[in-house]
Amino acid sequence: MEQEKLYQLMNSLTLKEKIGQLIQLSGDFFGNDNISTGPIEELGIDNEMIQYTGSILNVSGAKNTIKIQKEYLAQSRHKIPLLFMNDVVYGYRTILPIPLGQGATWNPNLIRNGYEHISKEASKAGVHVTFSPMVDLVRDPRWGRCLESTGEDPYLNSQFAKAVVEGFQGDLNHNQLASCVKHFAAYGAAEAGRDYNTVDMSERRLRQDYLPAYHAALEAGAKMVMTSFNTIDGIPATANKWLMKDILRDEWGFDGVLITDYAAIKELIAHGVAVDDAHASQLALEAGVDIDMKTACYANQLQPLLKEGRISLELIDQAVWRVLTLKNDLGLFENPYRGADLNEENYMRTSDAREIALQASREALVLLKNNNNLLPLDFKTQKIAFIGPYVDSKFLTGLWAINGKTEEIASIKDVVISMDAPHVTFTKGCDYLDDYSKLGKFGEFVSNFKINTDDEIKKDLQEAIIIAKESDIIVLALGEHMLESGEAGSRTQLGLPEIQQCLLNEISQLGKPIVLVLFNGRPLVLTEIENKVDAILEAWFPGSEGAQAIVDILNGTYNPSGRLSMSFPYTVGQIPIYYNSFNTGRPVAVHDDNNRFASQFLDAPNTPLYPFGFGLSYSQFSYNNLKLSSNILSIGSPITISVNITNTSSIAGTETVQLYVRDLVSSVVRPVKELINFEKIFLKGGECKTVTFILTEKDLRFINKDMFYQFEEGVFQIFVGHSSQEYLSSQFTLIKH
């Protein structure tokens, strides 16, 4: 629709019809099942306002969306179509590995391709907008939503933010999904990793570390932004004019739609910045919030606020205009049933989509340990006992795969029994947890709330010990329950569930080689169990094709290439722990008993158990011949960094060459290391390749003491290597001219 006509349409709306465009309700208001992704409560919206609603949350399926749209338009005076928005976070019916696993692929191009397929599936189901990517940087694995993040690094997160938006949106001319980047901003820095908790940091840290990935998503064209639940500098994001107007709209020039997170406007009262719904609505509208998700605030308060002169019609019109523009950009006025296809099943889980998802799962898996090259296994000849609650589990997709169908997920057992593996046995050994009550009511929904009796626990364990004794090798498939991570999944203890720890301890007494395959939505603390097993494969929640990917690595079909995008702590007490930290005035690289007065712990190392960028391969890679084209870098005279990588093994494999930099002296302290580039290369056995990186002054900019984003002259170190802790290093000097 032309702008002029759209403008006339907006001006033809009554006030209530305008306000309706700023409301988002869930499917139960329209006779559809409701997938609840937040607290459930009576909203108190009258029917008239329900009929004016502008968008619907988490309804999908062409039949549902077409029916609701048809009925809505039939009773609508203005005929403005509904927007269907959905948490298609990392999959629809084809499910990618969780984003923390996607980060470990270090392969944004592959992930972009994966999201192209997901976008097509969800679009055929009638979805218009997805609440993804979630790009919250996170350095605290106590926070359950690590699951949805690509990790602790601003640069890597920005690469993936761009890739996901491009994957979802494409050119938006082929019914692709509009992308909503979330949660703006810095939600991942919740104090103590406790979800929804306070976030408080300097503007410098916010801009330097936490904001870049949101900006990258918007640079890639994301059409929408979602506010976060947390405060920033004492003001909740949803009412934070500095964040939403000064930065997002004025500084970054974002003129798209700003939606709140679930019920976040009403939560301004609980935060203590709003006295009631009216006050909360006024604050949110003044901060630039366009759509009120799942409260009655805008629906019931904007009209009286306007009447009392507490808000202006101009603010309402600006918000309505942005919503109508989004609907127009998506072509909804021409085709309100955009994308929806009653033959949607023909487009779900296509072989192409599953192949990409399988490859993404393969590349997401991280080999953390492989003593004596225990892996890969030979399924044809070795007697292998698969033991653990995840051996025959279909819960492999994590908490935010809300549109997936569990029955479509293959378990490890499903995959193995379809292979030529004559000497393989299976048993669960124990349940995921011994007590589901801590998962709350939600836990009842997923875990059918079954508590094993002592006899059942003993029986499971005995069965496990019997098959373990009869095997050559044991594969333990253990991990967090799916509900122990994700939203509202914060934990203070980050080891394996107790009942699984007991199983592992018992099995490890048998003195047989053990491979541990881990399922988790966050970095776990593995220090207690690391020395009880011979190999560890980190599988995250690996997605709908995850079981196949795991088996492909266990039997050597795929040589593991994953590299951690978030540190695994040695102990919870170290948290927050991340590689790109500051040196402090009393640095200590390794614990020094002779020097008490250094920045260290009395009872733990400063280093994580597994660092950022770490991951093993079945191949061996050696780095040598690090060269700089010059040891002076200046504006217009970039330097080329080159290094040779040799696969010294006979097994072809993939290495992710990582380039870090350190600014030794600046007007503000700078991290001891910062990732600024990487390249993933494939090397045949014995093959050597030279990787080159071009470094310019632009790569070296930061937020300086005057809050300007620019570089400063001085000496820099560079590190090129296999991880943030294994590298070759050199240095150069940056001068302006």
Using CB under 6 A, list all residues that contact ligand GLC.
Answer: 37-38, 58, 87, 131, 182, 261-262, 487
Least separation in angstroms between residue 57's CB and ligand GLC is 6
φ/ψ (deg, to 5) at 148: -95, 0
Q: What is the CA 324 to chain-centroid distance, rounded?
A: 29
d(CA 293, CA 43): 11
Least separation in angstroms between residue 255's CB and ligand GLC is 22
* Amino acid sitting at position 455: D
The two structure tokens encoding residue 287: 């901060």
| 3-state SS, residue 331 | coil
CB 360 within 8 A of CB 508: no
Nearer to ligand GLC, 284 or 517 (CB): 284
Least separation in angstroms between residue 249's CB and ligand GLC is 21
Nearer to ligand GLC, 37 or 606 (CB): 37
What's the farthest any 2 CA atoms get from each other in the chain? Answer: 80
Evaluated on CA atoms 378, 384, 390, 392, the torsion sign reads positive
Least separation in angstroms between residue 264's CB and ligand GLC is 8
* Amino acid sitting at position 87: D
CB 253 within 8 A of CB 210: no
Least separation in angstroms between residue 38's CB and ligand GLC is 4
List, in order, residues 6 or more apart from 596 with CB less than 8 Å away.
none
Nearer to ligand GLC, 125 or 720 (CB): 125
φ/ψ (deg, to 5) at 700: -110, 10
CB 465 within 8 A of CB 169: no
Nearer to ligand GLC, 37 or 567 (CB): 37
Nearer to ligand GLC, 262 or 321 (CB): 262
Nearer to ligand GLC, 58 or 123 (CB): 58
CB 483 within 8 A of CB 491: no
List, in order, residues 6 or more apart from 249 with CB less than 8 Å away.
255, 288
Beta-strand runs (E) in 142-232: 178-184, 224-227, 231-232
Nearer to ligand GLC, 237 or 377 (CB): 237
Q: How far apart are the first and last CA of the chain?
A: 52
Nearer to ligand GLC, 140 or 674 (CB): 140
The two structure tokens encoding residue 382: 């070795």
Least separation in angstroms between residue 227's CB and ligand GLC is 10
d(CA 501, CA 490): 20
List, in order, residues 6 or more apart from 207 with CB less than 8 Å away.
703, 707, 709
Q: What is the CA 181 to chain-centroid distance, rounded?
A: 11
C-alpha distances out from residue 416 to 339, 395, 428, Å: 37, 17, 15
Nearer to ligand GLC, 295 or 658 (CB): 295
Nearer to ligand GLC, 129 or 516 (CB): 129
Nearer to ligand GLC, 87 or 674 (CB): 87
Query: Helices in 498-578 by DSSP H: which ranges?
Result: 498-508, 527-530, 546-554
Least separation in angstroms between residue 236's CB and ligand GLC is 14
What are the residues facing 622 on neighbouring strands? 646
CB half-sphere exposure, 713, CA atoms < 13 A? 6
Nearer to ligand GLC, 87 or 712 (CB): 87
d(CA 181, CA 152): 17
Least separation in angstroms between residue 182's CB and ligand GLC is 6
Query: Got the DSSP string for 266-284?
Result: THHHHHTS-SSHHHHHHHH
Q: Which residues are designated catalytic? A: 261
* Amino acid sitting at position 417: I
Least separation in angstroms between residue 195's CB and ligand GLC is 9
Least separation in angstroms between residue 36's CB and ligand GLC is 9
Which residue's CB comes closest to ligand GLC?
37
Least separation in angstroms between residue 99's CB and ligand GLC is 12
CB 99 within 8 A of CB 157: no
- Helices 3-12 and 313-329 cross at an angle (nearest 10°) of 130
Which has the closest alpha carbon to 476: 497, 452, 455? Answer: 497
d(CA 69, CA 84): 9
* Amino acid sitting at position 650: S
φ/ψ (deg, to 5) at 680: -100, 125
Least separation in angstroms between residue 83's CB and ligand GLC is 14
Least separation in angstroms between residue 145's CB and ligand GLC is 8
Nearer to ligand GLC, 24 or 500 (CB): 24
The two structure tokens encoding residue 385: 């006992």
Query: Got the DSSP string for 198-250?
Result: -----HHHIIIIISHHHHHHHHTT--EEEE-SSEETTEEGGG-HIIIIIIIII
d(CA 345, CA 341): 9
Q: Counting Cβ atoms within 10 Å, is residue 93 exposed (0-12), middle (13-18) or buried (19+)?
A: buried
- Helices 212-219 and 154-169 cross at an angle (nearest 10°) of 30
Which has the closest alpha carbon to 711: 703, 719, 723? Answer: 703
